[in-house]
Amino acid sequence: MMDLNTVKERAGPREFSPADDLPREYREAATRMIEFHANSEIMGAYLERPFIRQSPSIDRKLAFSAKVQDEIGHGQLLYRAAESLGVKTREEMLDDLANGDGKFLNCFHYPLKSWVEVPMISFFVDGAAMRRQATLRRTSWEPYAHAMDKVCFEEGFHVKHGEDILKELMTGSRKEQQMTQDAFEEWWPRIIQFFGPTDDKSTHHDFAAAVGLKQQSNDDLRNAFLDQYIPKARKYGLEIPDEPRIRERDDGTYAVEEDDLDWDEFFTIAKNEYEPGLGQINGRKQAQEAVDWVRETIEADAPTAGGHEPQAAD
Amino acid sequence: MIWEVFRQAKTGEYHTHCGNVHAPDREMAKQFAAIQHGRRKPTNSLWVVPRHEIGEIDAEDVSFGGTTDKSYRWATAYNTTGSDAREVVESEDEQATAEKQQGDD
C-alpha cells in the first residue's frame, strides 16, 4: 500500500485512480468530500424542484426542469466517483442522506419560498459552486476530476440561466425588484458562508490540500467569488447589504468580517440539526421511499446487466 | 479486417472518430492509423478498435429525443450583462465547441 508521504509527494492533478492502493486516510478524506458534494447536488435539486411548476413561463419551465434534472445527474456521477474509493457504497450514502447522517451544503438547508429566491440559488450559489468546481478539475482523485469535466460543461448553462432570471426580475416591476432585493438580503450571508469558515478555522483543509484533493483554500475561493459576483449584483441594481461588512483590500481581494456572520447557525446546520432543514432532509427521504418500488423492479429485472459486479445469490 | 480509428489532438481531449483502416492485426492497424490519420492534423494519440467490437444503437432501435428545440439547455442562449466569471466563460466555450462539432465525421 502507498504510504501517506508518497501520497503527499505525488499529489498532483488526477494523480490517483482506483488502480492505486491508497491509504485509508486518503480514501476516507476523499469519500467525505465527494459524498458531501454529491449529497449537495441532490439536496439542491430537491430544493429547486417545486419551482419547475411555479415557473412563470413555458421557457423557464423547460430550462428549469432541464437544470434540476442535470443536478440529479451530477449527484449520480459524484456518488460513482465516491463509491470507487471503496469506503462506502452508493446505497449507504443515499441511506445516510435519508436518515439525517449525510452532510450537505449550508444553503440547501434553507427553505425556498418564492420565485424571487430562485436566482439566489441558481445564479449566486451555483456561481459559487462553479468557482469551486472549476478548481476541482485538478483534484488528485481522477474519477472526481473526470466527473467535474462533465459537471462544469453543463453548469455554465445553469449559471447563465440563473443570471437571466435575475436580470428579468431586476428589470421587472418595482415590486419584483423590491422582492428580489429582500431575497438577496436574506440570502447574501448564507451565500458568503457557502465557502465555509475562514482558513484558520477550517478543520479539514490542511489534509485535503496536502494530498491534492482540495485545490484552493476557502479564503481564496471566497475572494475570487466576491471579485466576480459583487460587480454582477451591482450591475443588476442589487444593493449589497451592510452586513456582513466586506472590506476591499489594496490588492483587490476582500476581507469579510467573520463576526458579522451567524456561525452558530452555520454549525447547527453542519450537524443537520437546523429545524427548517429537517423538512428538506425528510422530504427527500419520503421521495426515496416512494420510489423504492422502481429501484426494486429494476434490480429484480436486470440480473445480468453490467456484469462487472457479481450478483447476489438471491 | 476493419479497424476504426479515433484521434486525440491534445492531451486531455477526447478521442474522436476520424476514419478507419484495413489491417490484419492490431500492430499493423496502429501503423496504418499513424500513417493515414496521424500526419496531417495535430495528433497526440490514436486508438484503433476492431469494428466488430463497437456496439451500436441507432434511431430505429430507440427514440433518442433531440427532436424538440432544446436551445434553452445551452449557456450561449442567454444574453446577460457584464463580464462572466472565467469558469462560466470556459463552460460556455466548451458548449459552443460541442455545438459546432455536432454532425462532424
- Summarize pLDDT for B3-36 with one digit per residue, the tens: 999 999 999 889 999 999 999 999 999 999 999 9
3-state secondary structure of B22: strand
Strand partners, B2: B22
pTM: 0.82
How far apart are the C-alpha atoms of A239 and A231, rounded to whole Å?
10
Range of the domain at B77: 71-101
Q: Are residues B6 and B49 in the same domain?
A: yes
- Supply the pLDDT for residue A193: 94
Task: Answer yes or no: is A5 within a domain.
Answer: no
Model confidence pLDDT, tens digit, residues B53-62 = 999 999 888 8
How far apart are the C-alpha atoms of A131 and A154, rounded to whole Å?
14
**Residue appearing with cell numbers 462533465:** A150
Task: Answer yes or no: is A313 within a domain.
Answer: no
Band of pLDDT at residue B49, cut at 50, 70 and 90: very high
How far apart are the C-alpha atoms of A134 and A138, rounded to whole Å?
8
- Supply the pLDDT for residue B15: 95
Q: Are residues B49 and B83 in the same domain?
A: no
Task: Answer yes or no: is B62 within a domain.
Answer: no
The total number of structural domains that make up chain B: 2
Return the amino acid letter for A41.
Answer: E
Contacts of B91 in chain A (CB under 8 A): 130, 152-157, 159
Chain B interface, Cβ < 8 Å to A: 70, 72-75, 77-82, 84-88, 90-92, 94-95, 98
- Supply the pLDDT for residue B98: 84
- Supply the pLDDT for residue B90: 93
- Tell me the CA end-to-end span of chain B in Å, nearest whole number: 21
Q: Are residues B48 and B88 in the same domain?
A: no
Q: Are residues B49 and B77 in the same domain?
A: no
Residue A110, all three cell numbers: 434553507
What ranges make up the beta strands (E) of B25-92? 45-50
Task: Answer yes or no: is A84 within a domain.
Answer: yes
The total number of structural domains that make up chain A: 1
Strands B45-50 and B2-8: antiparallel
How far apart are the C-alpha atoms of A162 and A125, rounded to whole Å?
10
- pLDDT tens for chain A, residues 1 to 314: 899 999 999 999 999 999 999 999 999 999 999 999 999 999 999 999 999 999 999 999 999 999 999 999 999 999 999 999 999 999 999 999 999 999 999 999 999 999 999 999 999 999 999 999 999 999 999 999 999 999 999 999 999 999 999 999 999 999 999 999 999 999 999 999 999 887 777 666 689 999 999 989 888 899 999 999 999 999 999 999 999 999 888 887 788 888 899 999 999 999 999 998 999 999 999 999 999 999 889 888 776 544 444 434 33
- Supply the pLDDT for residue B103: 46
- Supply the pLDDT for residue A84: 94
Give which of A25, A139, A119, A120 is closest to A78, Cα–Cα.
A139
Residue A102, all three cell numbers: 449525510
Range of the domain at A215: 14-295
Contacts of B88 in chain A (CB under 8 A): 127, 130, 156, 159-160
Closest chain B C-alpha to A152 CA, distance in angstroms: 6
Q: Closest-CA residue in chain A for B84? A: A228
Task: Answer yes or no: is B36 within a domain.
Answer: yes
| CATH number of the domain within which A85 lies | 1.20.1260.10
For helices A90-98 and A275-290, the axis angle rounded to 10 degrees is 130
Kindly determine whether residue A157 and residue B84, on different chains, have CB atoms separated by under 8 Å. no
Which residue of B79, B85, B94 is in closest CB contact with A153? B94
Task: Answer yes or no: is A152 within a domain.
Answer: yes
Percent of chain B with pLDDT over 70: 95
Task: Answer yes or no: is B66 within a domain.
Answer: no
Give which of A165, A26, A261 is closest to B78, Cα–Cα.
A165
What does each C-alpha distance from A258 to A204, A237, B102 come to in angstroms?
19, 26, 48
Q: Closest-CA residue in chain A for B75? A: A157
